[in-house]
Structure formats: C-alpha cells, structure tokens
C-alpha cells in the first residue's frame, strides 16, 4: 500500500530553495516516491510532466518533449534528490502559469507524433471534492504518465482513500494477487486487460471479498468479455469510464444489462454531432502545448469518437482515425471483433489494418482460441462462419492465431502493424 | 527440375489451404482452374489479397525462402501470374530461380 500525500520534507526544501515556480519532467514508475513528488510539486504551483523509466532513459525523447512543449523542464530522475537538481529560470510555454499544472502526452493523428495536453490541478481537485466517493481502496493500475493514472492518484488524495501499487506494468497474476487479499473495492482497467484476465482464468476464482466494481474504459469493450465477467462475478458492478487525456475520466451511467452502453452524467454532458461525440468536462484541458486548440468557442470538446445511439444510450464504435476503409467500405475494428466473438471457439480477437501494396489496407485478424480447439479445426470453421456471417468487404485477408495479444504501454489492444 | 517440383508443391499447398480456409474458394479443384481476372475465376480482387497472403506463407513454409507479391507482379506482367494455376506455377518457378 502506498501513502498518497505530499512529502513534507520536500515541501520545505522547495520553499527554501526557490521562490519561483518551475516545470519538472519526472521519471515516474508506480512507486510511492513518484506519487509523492508529483503531488508535492503540483500542489506547490509547479508544472509537471511524467514519463516511464523506459522513456525517461532516452535522451532524444526528453529533448523531443522539451521542443514540443516549448518549455525547459528540470529533469528529475527517481534516484536523485531535490538537492542534486539545479533549479534555474527557464523558458515556459505561454499557457503555463503558477497555479499548479500537469501535462499528459497523448498520441496525435495529424502529423505530430503526439499531443501534449496541459491541465490545471484545481479543476480535478474541485471535481473530486464534489463527486460521490467511488472507492475506499483502489489499485494504481494505469501508469502515472497517463490521465487515468493521474486521476487515480488525485481522487485518492482528495477523498483520502487507500491505494495499492503494482511493481511495474500490470500482469494478470499480480492484479489477482491484489484482489485476492480482499482489500480492493474498485478496480479500474482497460477492456483489453479484462480480456487478458479472462484468458488467464482469473474469473474462475470466487468473487474477491470487498470488490464492488470494475471500471473499464479508454477503448471499445467487447460485450462477450463483459458478459463473461458479469456471469462470473455477478455481485460486481461494471462501470464504463469514458475518458480521454484532454477531458479526464467522465462520470457515466452504465447499463446494467448491457455494460457496453452508457450515458454521460449531467456534470459532464455530451452530444452527438455528425455521428461524433462532443462533451463538456469540468476537467477540460487548458490547451495543447504543441497543437491547435481543441475546444469549440462554447466549450465543447470534439472527441472524434464515433458513437451510435442504442435505445437511448450510447455505444462507442471507435475513434475516427481507427476506421478501416477497404475499397470504400468503411467500418470499425471493434464492430468486426464483436462479430467474430460470437464464435464459440474464439476467446479474443484483434482486428487491425495493415498497409498493403495491392489493396491499400489489408485487414489482419489475430485470434486467441479456447483450449480444446486446434488451429486447423478453427481455420476450417472460420471459413464457414465468414461465408455466412461476414460480408466480403469485411473478411480479414490475413488470419493469425496466437496464444496471447500484444497490448500497448497504455494497456490497450495494439492495432498498429 | 528440382525448382519446378518445388513450384508445383508450393502452388498445390496454397490451393489446398485456400480450399480449407478461404471463404468462397471451392473445397475441391482439379485441372488448370482459372484463378483471377476472367469470367468464372475463383478469386475476386478482395479474395485475391487473402490468397496472396496464403501463397506467401506456403512459399516460406515449403521453400524456406521469403516471397513478396506486389501490384507490379500482378498487373504489369504480360502473362498475369494469377490467371490460372499454370501461370501461377510459372510465376513461382521464376521467383525461385531468381532467388
């Protein structure tokens, strides 16, 4: 368990060493040290960006962040203390002020490799002060360089909850070990990780004592996986946590019968414009540091998520940029995945587009099978299934069968070739 | 001579696999069937891409070498390789000899 609080000694040292507010780039893992440094700096009015140890070890990446943010960061490795850092006056992006801010890196789609999203701490503090408590004891599942990781820490800090931490990138075994202790009441994961938990047989265990809810978000969920979780652990509430780096995690009302459907709460309303979801969030970004601004003149954020309305509720089909286009026929990977998940032999599937010389985009399907089906049996069954259920334009051109999926550093399905 | 046998083996293996796995591809074929580009051919422009992936896989499995089929191979050739099993075998033989 880690203590989610400021570091009193660090507060004192900061006050003594510098009256100015600085921008820090922290090396951040899942440790209490990283959590305390982040909280201490932002609450004291400094600006913080965090990177995983792997990224932080790459000088070219650190330089890229400096250039894109137009800000000279004070680099703070985990192994160094404040006294080992030189705190000098630096260039800052005009949007950065002395109110306590943090920056989240996200992936971009239009030329730049990523976007740097600037947030104001007080927006999140106010949100958690007024929202009802969601957990007493949660797990720091998401890395601290993601908005979900930061929200987990800030909610715990404001509401005084308890937080358990992982040793590194989450594994299903380690997450289960935490759940089995019977302390965690709220687990926030990605749908891909839920799939991995299902593959690892985690849901064959009895429902962990104390676990009240599982929140999932950041990519479209698969109804079959959610159904498996719901039938295995029926006492646990499944909550769809819609969120993005630019708007934080929004409050939702999730369908109990169909957890892949949701509405947004009044505190963060949404609307559909030309099929795409737009939202208002109390935690909307201050702005991008390396990209044109994102909010409409009246404060709506265009998510680029394509959403369909089902019986008065919403279902996210995918990000506009994820849309596959095969010979003019457009569809989302998640739609096709859902169709294949209807096959009893399929435990999980990932669909992605791959550049192809002959057709522009070739569809690649990577399957994970239930244990008692051989690959050759499955491939024959798949042929019959596709002939009946999958239109020709959606049929994958390449079929791969694997024992596990690759997931990204942000714990989502890797849809990139 | 050895390459000619190898080319036949690769094409037969690709066709056998397409029969088992490729939607719309008949479960049995015989003789020099028409594959692509003419009336009654077994492949259309979408299933051709799937067949190419299968062919590339079987080329590697049978010969141990890598094959990459490009648009140029398919369209710019004066004797289109995917027209029939015969032309495909000739194409594969050329690739084997070239390498």
Q: Kindly determine whether residue B49 and residue A382, on different chains, have CB atoms separated by under 8 Å.
A: no
Lowest mean pLDDT among A176-185, A208-217, A368-377, B29-38: B29-38
pLDDT of amino acid A405: 66
Q: What is the mean pLDDT of residues A389-401?
A: 92
Minimal Cβ distance to B71: which of A358, A383, A387: A358
- ipTM reported for the complex, 2 dp: 0.88
How near does any CA of chain A get to the CA of B23, in Å? 5
Q: Which of A45-49, A90-94, A361-365 has the highest mean pLDDT?
A: A45-49
Q: What is the pLDDT of residues B47-88, one digit of tens each?
A: 999 999 999 999 999 999 899 888 777 766 677 888 899 999
Is A386 strand, coil or helix? helix
* Predicted confidence (pLDDT) per residue in A255-313, tens digit: 888 888 889 988 899 999 988 999 999 999 999 999 888 888 888 999 988 898 888 89
DSSP states along A182-249? T---EEEE-HHHHHHHHHTTGGGSPPPTT--EEEE-SSPPPHHHHHHHHHHSTTSEEEE--EETTTEE
Local confidence band at A402 (pLDDT 50, 70, 90 cut-offs): confident
Using a CB-CB cut-off of 8 Å, the residues of chain B touching A395 are 23, 46-47, 50
- Residue A326: its chain B contacts at CB < 8 A? 46
- pLDDT score, position B76: 65
Q: What is the mean pLDDT of residues A192-197?
A: 85
Name the minimum distance, in Å, from the CA of A141 to any CA of chain B. Answer: 38
Chain A hits for B49, Cβ within 8 Å: 356, 358-359, 362, 397
Is A386–B20 a contact, with Cβ atoms under 8 angstroms apart?
no
Please tell me whether residue A392 adopts helix, strand or coil conformation: helix
Nearest CA-CA distance, residue A241 and chain B, Å:
38
Q: Which residue of B has its CA nearest to A385?
A: B23
Question: Model confidence over A21-36: pLDDT tens digits?
Answer: 999 999 999 999 999 9
CA A300 to chain CA mean position, Å? 21
Which candidate, A153, A160, A93, places its Cα nearest to that of A121? Answer: A153
pLDDT higher at B18 or A109: B18
Residue A1: pLDDT over 90:
no
Mean residue pLDDT across chain A? 89
Instruction: List pLDDT tens digits, range A220-252.
Output: 787 888 888 999 999 999 988 888 999 999 988
Of B20, B46, B74, the CB nearest to A393: B46
Contact A382 B46 (CB under 8 A): no
Query: Which residues of chain B have a Cβ shorter than 8 Å from any chain A Cβ?
Result: 20-24, 44-50, 52-53, 69-71, 74
Burial of residue A293 (CB within 10 Å: 0-12, 13-18, 19+) is exposed
Nearest to B23 among A357, A358, A386 (CB): A386
Indicate the residue of B20, B53, B69 with minimum beta-carbon distance to A397: B53
Are residues B46 and A327, on separate chains, in Cβ contact within 8 Å?
A: yes
A390 touches chain B (CB under 8 A): yes
Q: Is pLDDT at A415 greater than 70 in this prediction?
A: no
- pLDDT of A79 reads 97
- Summarised one tens digit per residue, pLDDT across range B18-54 is 999 999 998 888 778 889 888 888 998 889 999 999 9
What are the pLDDT digits (tens) for A38-50? Answer: 999 999 999 999 9
Q: Nearest-CA residue of chain A relative to B24? A: A387
């Amino acid at each position: 368990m880690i203590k989610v609080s400021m570091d009193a000694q660090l507060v004192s040292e900061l006050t003594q060493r510098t009256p100015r507010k600085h921008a820090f780039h922290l090396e951040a893992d899942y440790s209490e040290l990283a959590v305390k440094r982040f909280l201490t700096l932002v609450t004291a009015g400094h600006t913080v960006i965090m990177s995983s140890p792997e990224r932080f070890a790459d000088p070219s990446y650190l330089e890229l962040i400096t250039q894109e943010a137009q800000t000279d960061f004070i680099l703070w490795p985990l192994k160094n203390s404040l006294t080992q850092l030189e705190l000098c006056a630096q260039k800052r992006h005009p949007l950065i002020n002395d109110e306590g801010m943090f920056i989240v890196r996200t992936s971009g789609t239009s030329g730049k490799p990523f976007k740097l999203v600037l947030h104001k701490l007080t927006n999140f503090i106010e949100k958690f002060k007024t929202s009802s408590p969601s957990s007493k004891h949660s797990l720091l599942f998401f890395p601290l360089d993601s908005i979900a990781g930061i929200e987990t820490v800030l909610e715990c800090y404001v509401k005084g909850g308890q937080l358990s931490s992982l040793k590194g990138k989450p594994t299903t075994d380690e997450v289960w070990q935490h759940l089995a202790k019977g302390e965690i009441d709220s687990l926030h994961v990605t749908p891909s990780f839920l799939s991995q938990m299902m593959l690892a047989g985690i849901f064959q265990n009895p429902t962990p004592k104390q676990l009240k809810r599982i929140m999932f978000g950041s990519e479209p969920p698969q109804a079959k996986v959610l159904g498996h979780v719901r039938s295995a652990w029926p006492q646990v509430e499944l909550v769809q946590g819609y969120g993005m780096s630019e708007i934080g995690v929004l409050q939702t009302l999730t369908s109990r019968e169909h957890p892949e459907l949701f509405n947004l709460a009044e505190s963060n309303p949404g609307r559909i414009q030309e099929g795409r979801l737009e939202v208002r969030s109390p935690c909307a970004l201050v702005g991008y540091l390396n990209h044109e601004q994102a909010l409409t003149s009246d404060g709506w954020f265009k998510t680029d998520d394509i959403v369909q309305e089902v019986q008065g509720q919403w279902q996210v089909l995918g990000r506009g940029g994820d849309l596959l286009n095969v010979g003019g026929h457009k569809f989302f990977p998640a739609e096709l995945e859902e169709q294949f998940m209807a096959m009893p032999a399929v435990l999980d599937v990932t669909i992605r587009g791959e550049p192809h010389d002959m057709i522009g985009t070739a569809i690649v399907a990577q399957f994970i099978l239930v244990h008692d089906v051989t690959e050759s049996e499955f491939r024959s069954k798949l042929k019959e299934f596709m002939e009946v259920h999958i239109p020709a334009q959606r049929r994958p051109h390449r079929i791969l069968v694997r024992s596990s999926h690759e997931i990204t550093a942000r714990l989502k399905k890797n849809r990139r070739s | 001579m050895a390459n000619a046998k190898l080319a036949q083996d690769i094409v037969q293996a690709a066709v056998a696999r397409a029969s088992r796995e490729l939607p719309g591809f008949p479960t049995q074929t015989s003789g020099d069937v028409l594959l692509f580009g003419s009336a009654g051919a077994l492949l259309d422009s979408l299933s051709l891409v799937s067949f190419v992936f299968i062919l590339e896989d079987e080329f590697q499995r049978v010969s141990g070498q890598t094959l990459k089929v490009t648009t140029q191979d398919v369209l710019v050739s004066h004797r289109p390789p995917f027209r029939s099993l015969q032309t495909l075998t000739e194409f594969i033989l050329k690739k084997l000899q070239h390498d």
